[in-house]
Chain A
Amino acid sequence: MNQLVAPARSLDKSTTPGALFSTLSIPIAILVLVVIGSVASPSFLTVNNLTNVLNANSAVGLIALGMTFVMVSGGLADLSVPANVAMGALVTLGAQESMGTGLAALMGLLVASMGGVVNGILIGYLRINPIIATLGTGSVLLGLSQLLVGGGIVYAQPSALSTFVKSSILGIPVFIWIFIFVALILHPLLARTSFGRWSLAVGGNYQAAQASAVPVRFTKAAAFAMTGFLAGLCGVLLALSNGQARPIIGTGYEFVAITAVVIGGTSVFGGNGSVLRTVGGVLITALIGNLIILLGFPSQATGLITGAIVLGAVGIDAYFRRKAGRL
């Protein structure tokens, strides 16, 4: 029954202008940004700058990878991301003293994953609207994380793990390695496994997927559990490398992640998308953020420019889809 979905997707890859646009747009956008950057500032196209840019965006990039599954499977978006990031970070640093850094980090991951599982049960099994469900769980979890630390700030103790997280292997920071590693696992998971095809099928047509014996509830729930885990991982990594954590540590990350996924071209309606595209989206948002600073714009302009690009990219995409008669 999964084959029913596959041919439909390969048909989409025909040479309509829309398909061409969506295939080429990401590499072209990255190229354009790199050209603008190297013209604008001599310090842009240096190994140091590019490594820093990627390093700074890897943590939130992890969340975008998870959010891809959420959107592909028709789960709209996970708005509880900041809460799960905070949980991961605060539990890790809070439990560090009593149980050691390694165990504390695992604990942080576990708690954040639990948050994701709760989202999954509410959305996948109870079929509550994802926006409401994750607003609710986000509110509860963020409150709990603040309760945990009395609304204040927690400091890390020096540990081997945090030294490792801040270090580089072969000249590339560990953050980037982790991002590459997770992307290398998740891309084939979505593109080549049954679970990936289930996700696409559930997002494409829920009833049809259900009728074809796809475990629709599990598939949708798993996407949210995964995003919870990755948000937790982001929190743990940030806490260990920053040496401190506050409950607001992940504020706005849900929007950054959604933006990266959407710029990558994954449909918000569900049913199509790829992890590789999201990686492209993360690169584009990272480069935009860097260019804004290098070109001397105030950093507050980031949201303005990112938002305008989202509108532009999605608007053009919607236009081509309509032209191809698929909307």
Chain B
Amino acid sequence: MKNFDFALLGARAVQYRLVIMLVAVAVFGGLSLDDFLTVNTLQSVLDRATVVGFLALGLTPVLIAGQIDLSIGSMMSMAGITTIFMQPVIGNVPAAAAGVAVGILIGAVNALMVVVFKINSLVATLATLLIFASLALLLTNSYPLSSEDPIFGLPLTADFLWILTPRSAIFLIAAVLMFVWLKLTPTGRNLYAVGSDASAATSSGINANGYIAASFVLSGFFAGLAGMMQSLSTAAGSPVAGAVMLIPAITAVVIGGTRLEGGRGSSLATLGGVLALGALTTALEYNGVPSYTQAIYTGLLLILLISLDRIVSGHGGASSRAQRSVRVAPRNTPLPRRNA
């Protein structure tokens, strides 16, 4: 009986982890700092979480499709230096568009490697991670570029609407739009089917390769957006801006509850993960905790949550995934060939 209660408690803890984390951070921050619980802090948390947030948002459909994209950081760096470099050449707004376009382009390269050349996404995006991190260093000779028009990007982080800055508003809207797409449209639901079982999805008439390719392009788009916004708001294009972003982005997505095994996840969960992580980081930083100690907390949190999830759910993950693919797949389709 006691054992059962513990399991239930664990399950609840996993289920409401984002709420628990946010409340814990608020209590801890409120107790340890005088003016932590203010609108300003909330605005700052939201604003600073935006860059990791875009990356995490882009990663979400990729993980739902059962793939992984390690190259988001490199795409972000490339987009950032492109934006800053193109500013004096083609003007501010076209340069920003060019930055995002570079992200989309690299995402398309990833899609090509995974879908056409059938390279495992872990290896393919590891390779593009190396290639574009290296290219970013080569193009800039390892020095950050500084913007010709540093004023242009400033409004992105300015006061906008109560707790929002323009870029965090864009981030929130993007998260909600993605939620609507994933949960309420047929194409969104098909993506889950592809991630649950690509061959079953194919047998039921879904173009699995198309969905996987689209998820990589989308990830490139969001990484491009992250790089563009980061470089404009700091008025500098650093070739290593994205190098440190991969781990926080994956952590945020996973804390939110999206699984690396595919077929599960949601953009609002990712939003929650981004906010919880951002709040924790901000509270620690305001307390003067050095960044490497923050990494310890983040890492422990990640391990704790994922272990708890595994212990509580047991083997439930597999069965619920199977159920979901049954629900999505039309009836009377031929039995899917597994392990194709």
Contacts and interface: CB of A to CB of B under 8 A. Distances in A.
Interface of A: 76-77, 122, 126-129, 131-133, 135-144, 146-147, 151, 247, 255, 258-259, 262, 268-269, 298, 300-304, 306-308, 310-311, 314-315, 318-319, 322, 327
* Among A140, A146, A262, A319: residue with most chain B CB under 10 A: A140
B300 A140 contact: yes
A147 B128 CA distance: 32
A168 B225 CA distance: 52
Contact of B299 (A129, A139, A306, A319): A139
Contacts, number: 141
B120 A269 contact: yes
Given A135-B302, A311-B119, A311-B127, A303 B292 contact: no
Given A122-B303, A151-B292, A322-B118, 4 more contacts: A142-B292, A143-B292, A268-B120, A308-B131
Nearest to A321: B118
A140 B138 contact: no
B292 A122 contact: no
Contact of B130 (A136, A142, A307): A307
Interface residues of B, number: 44
Contact of A143 (B68, B131, B251, B296): B296
B67 to A, nearest CB: 12
Contact of B134 (A129, A131, A132, A301): A301
Contacts of A76: 122
B299 A143 contact: yes
Contacts of A127: 310
Interface in B283-305: 290, 292-296, 298-300, 302-303
27 contacts: A76-B122, A122-B307, A129-B261, A132-B250, A132-B302, A135-B247, A136-B300, A136-B302, A138-B247, A139-B251, A140-B300, A143-B293, A146-B290, A147-B296, A258-B123, A259-B126, A268-B120, A268-B122, A300-B137, A300-B142, A303-B131, A304-B131, A304-B134, A304-B138, A310-B130, A314-B127, A315-B119
A247 B296 CA distance: 14
A142 B250 CA distance: 17
Nearest to A79: B247
B254 interface: yes
A307 B119 contact: no
B105 to A, nearest CB: 16
B132 to A, nearest CB: 8
B123 A268 contact: yes
Enumerate the 8 nearest inter-chain pairs by beta-carbon distance, A residue then B residue, closest first: A303-B134, A139-B299, A143-B296, A140-B299, A307-B131, A146-B292, A307-B130, A143-B295
Contacts of B303: 122, 133, 136-137, 140
Most buried by B among A143, A322, A327: A143
B291 to A, nearest CB: 9
B124 interface: yes
B119 A318 contact: yes
A153 to B, nearest CB: 14
Given A143-B293, A298-B138, A314 B251 contact: no
B126 A255 contact: yes
Nearest to B118: A318
Contact of A129 (B118, B129, B260): B260
Contacts of B127: 307-308, 310-311, 314
Given A122-B307, A126-B307, A314 B119 contact: yes
B10 to A, nearest CB: 14
Given A142-B292, A327-B118, A310 B126 contact: yes
Q: Which of A76, A122, A135 gathers most chain B CB within 10 Å? A: A135
A141 B294 CA distance: 12
B311 interface: yes
Contacts of B129: 255, 307
B163 interface: no
Contact of A128 (B130, B134, B300, B307): B307
B159 to A, nearest CB: 33
Contacts of B124: 311, 314
B306 interface: yes
A138 B299 contact: yes
B295 A139 contact: yes
Contact of B126 (A258, A298, A301, A319): A258
Contacts of B113: 311, 315
Contacts of A268: 120, 122-123
Contacts of B298: 139
Nearest to A144: B296
Interface in B173-204: none
Interface in B275-332: 290, 292-296, 298-300, 302-303, 306-307, 310-311
B302 A303 contact: no
Contacts of B247: 135, 138-139
A136 B247 CA distance: 9
B133 interface: yes
A255 B134 CA distance: 13
Interface string B53-68: 0000000000000001
Contacts of B260: 129, 131-132
B206 interface: no
Nearest to A305: B134
B250 A300 contact: no
A263 to B, nearest CB: 10
A151 B123 CA distance: 32
Contacts of A137: 299, 303
B299 A314 contact: no
Contacts of A144: 296
B292 to A, nearest CB: 4
